[in-house]
Amino acid sequence: MRSRYSAFAVGDADYLLRSWHSSTRPVRLRLDPGQRWTRLEILGTDRGGLFDTTGTVRFRAHYRQAGRPGSLDEQSRFVREDGRWVYLDALPD
């Protein structure tokens, strides 16, 4: 989760695509250069340990866009694919 947030913060779309599950990965990803990610809060986790194959992370990511603050709240699902953790999707609220 933190590595994906960092990739958003530095604009590394290639890493984001590589860390996305093959069944839900978009063909391409366009990041907004006017959006500056400023802080990540991990609000909770479920599973995702050494012996797990799935896990969820609830987070709040803060950003600034056009001089205004904003935030994104999400509960993300992660799964192991080929032995590494990848982002699957966001759970509905």
| pTM (2 d.p.) | 0.93
* CATH architecture assigned to 2-91: Roll (3.10)
Q: Is the pLDDT of residue 12 over 90?
A: yes
Which pLDDT score is estimated for 1?
A: 86
User: So where are the chain's domains?
Assistant: 2-91
Q: What is the C-alpha to C-alpha distance for residues 29 and 48, in angstroms, rounded to an integer?
A: 26
Tens digit of each residue's pLDDT (9 = 90 or more) over 19-76 = 999 999 999 999 999 999 999 999 999 999 999 999 999 999 999 999 999 999 999 9
Mean pLDDT of 65-92: 97
pLDDT band for position 93 (cuts 50, 70, 90): confident
Which pLDDT score is estimated for 73?
A: 98
Q: Which residues, 6 or more positions from 61, have their beta carbon under 8 angstroms from its beta carbon?
A: 5, 8, 37, 39, 40, 41, 71, 72, 74
